[in-house]
Amino acid sequence: MMGIAVCRNIFLSPINFTTMLSKISFASRTLARNARGVATIQEVLKSQVPQKQADLLALKKEHGDKVLGEVTVDQCIGGARGVKCMLWETSNLDAEEGIRFRGHTIPDCQQILPTFKGPAGPENGEPLLESLFWLLLTSEVPTKAEVDGLTADLHKRAASLPSHVVPLLNSLPKDMHPMTQFTIGLNAAQTGSAFAKAYQDGAPKTEYHEYVLEDVLNVVAQLPEIAATIYRNVYFDGVVSKDTSLDYSGNFCRMLGYDDKGFDELMRLYLCIHTDHEGGNASAHATHLVGSTLSDPYLAYAGGLNALAGPLHGLANQEVLGWIQGIQKQMADEGKEVNAETITQFTWDTLNAKKVIPGYGHAVLRKTDPRYSCQREFALKHMPDDELFKIVSTIYEVMPGILTEHGKTKNPYPNVDSHSGVLLWHYGFTQFQYYTVLFGVSRAVGALSQLYWDRALGLPLERPKSVTPEFIKKFCESQ
Ligand code: AMX
């Protein structure tokens, strides 16, 4: 029967076929997992580390002196685009296809990862963030029971947020950018770092990853309270209420002050798709770099958050909303409609003013970001008539053509940040200066999963070679 089903699906589409294969392999893995019983994430990782360490040693021994690529002067000056010089376990980004989390596309993940209702599958809602966290850390698809165990563990760990953090956040000026507050909160929570303490106490290098895992789980568990405290302080009454009968995302929604099942589902999707985008993006790379100095996960991820706060990276989601409001205001002032024609004019005005169009373009991607596409699918399913969604759709119709005609960007298509704001806005989450904090809660899961493996695999201090302009000139002239 399974064979017939697979054959039939081959003729549907390659995506359906891949998804079918994922489901089959998931089913067989689930059988194996059920035989072994419910494991904790610590147990699974402990069983994987020796083999992974041996595999990496063997890879180095066999291929250590092979050449992965060369570096041109343009790449050296131009932000190292395409230079292959970083090991990354958790995800891989293809320019055409987009992100794969441990080999799984976003549609795959929506098929195979456990949801709040239980079994995997879009009919049961979006995957749980904890499911993806498990997949990123272990490369295995968890059972629902394993995910529930992780959820309970994270809820328990959230209580370990040091007692000085919330009062510190309460003392910050309300007009300080939420991302600045977020990094302050995370840095302040560093006093609880298990790794920093173990290092000071003389733990051997072979044990670093055990303490790092404690910190990774604690940071992920503590971030919602830091983030929600900032949101409630800046925009509301400062009161944060929890509901730990829910999953990580649902509880986070309650902490932010939202009690709406539709918004819970959106937050599950949102938190999953922002987790990881291979290693070279600024927030993941910064976390990896800072962590390579043996700064603990709190300090390392605070570095990542500072990178995320830049408008060319995570801050683009707030910029998109600001840009759309700019169109709306100008057209209202001029008594015009927001439509394809006026959006085109506004876009050219932005480009002629030498500004970027937020939410479009990408350093690696050369097609529409699948993180954009799945958010569009969500909107088509849950809010097809939303006015702002219609504007975002019209922008999507005209923008690739305009950017192509403009002729500068290598990728005229939308990225993740082009769509996230409109979904949040639909549920009444209109404080767009805060949007990057949500991105930051999610990115922790990817960047810190990798940081665990950085230490488990004993990766060294990152220290690429820089060169002076004089060196480049002399070197090239001597060739
Ligand atoms: N609007 C206008 N110009 C753009 C553009 C856009 N959306 N995207 C790229 N360009 C311009 C660049 O500024 C650059 O101009 P320059 O030669 O005068 O410096 C030229 O096109 C070539 O750039 P590129 O090679 O296509 O892109 P990049 O790798 O240098 O930069 C990115 C990538 C994302 C920073 C860029 O596309 C951009 O600024 N986009 C808008 C901001 C944004 O949406 N950021 C979020 C990205 C996703 C994320 O990290 N969250």
- Which is catalytic among the residues 209, 288, 362, 426? 362
Residue 124 domain-assigned (yes or no): no
Give the number of domains in the chain. Answer: 1
Q: Which residues of 433-443 are buried (b: 16+ CB within 10 A; e: fewer)?
A: bbbbbbbbbbb
Average pLDDT estimate for 122-150:
97
Average model confidence (pLDDT) across the chain: 94
Domain span including residue 379: 160-479
Residue 88 domain-assigned (yes or no): no
How far is it, in rounded angstroms, from Cα 460 to Cα 470?
29
How far is it, in rounded angstroms, from Cα 93 to Cα 365?
8
Residue 8 has pLDDT above 50, yes or no: no
Verify whether residue 417 is a known catalytic residue: yes
Residue 389 domain-assigned (yes or no): yes
Residue 140 domain-assigned (yes or no): no
Measured in whole angstroms, how far is the alpha carbon of residue 153 from the centre of its chain? 21
Atom of ligand 1 nearest to the CA of 415: 48
Residue 240's CATH number:
1.10.580.10
Find residue 94's DSSP bridge partners: 98
Q: What is the CA(170)–ligand 1 centre distance, in A?
A: 36
Give the pLDDT of residue 15: 47
Type and span of the H or E element at 91: strand 91-94
How far is it, in rounded angstroms, from Cα 107 to Cα 95?
17
Residue 33 domain-assigned (yes or no): no
Residue 447 domain-assigned (yes or no): yes
DSSP code of residue 81? T
Atom of ligand 1 nearest to the CA of 359: 44
Tens digits of residue pLDDT in 86-114: 999 999 999 999 999 999 999 999 999 99
Verify whether residue 164 is a known catalytic residue: no
- For residue 71, the tally of other CB atoms under 10 A from its CB is 15
Nearest residue CA, atom 49 of ligand 1? Answer: 313
- Which is catalytic among the residues 155, 277, 288, 313? 313
The pLDDT confidence band at residue 6, using thresholds 50, 70 and 90, is very low
Residue 411 domain-assigned (yes or no): yes
Verify whether residue 274 is a known catalytic residue: no
In this structure, what token pair is assigned to residue 362? 């990408």
Give the pLDDT of residue 28: 58
Residue 129 has pLDDT above 70, yes or no: yes
Atom of ligand 1 nearest to the CA of 369: 48
Residue 77 domain-assigned (yes or no): no
Mutate to test the pocket of ligand 1, among 99, 313, 362 (most ligand atoms within 8 A of CB): 362
How far is it, in rounded angstroms, from Cα 255 to Cα 231?
9
Atom of ligand 1 nearest to the CA of 360: 7
Contact residues of ligand 1, CB 6 A cut-off? 281, 312-314, 316, 351, 356-363, 408-411, 415-417
Q: What is the CA(314)–ligand 1 centre distance, in A?
A: 13
Q: What is the CA(376)–ligand 1 centre distance, in A?
A: 22
Tens digits of residue pLDDT in 182-232: 999 999 999 999 999 999 999 999 999 999 999 999 999 999 999 999 999
Sign of the alpha-carbon torsion through 380, 384, 388, 393: positive
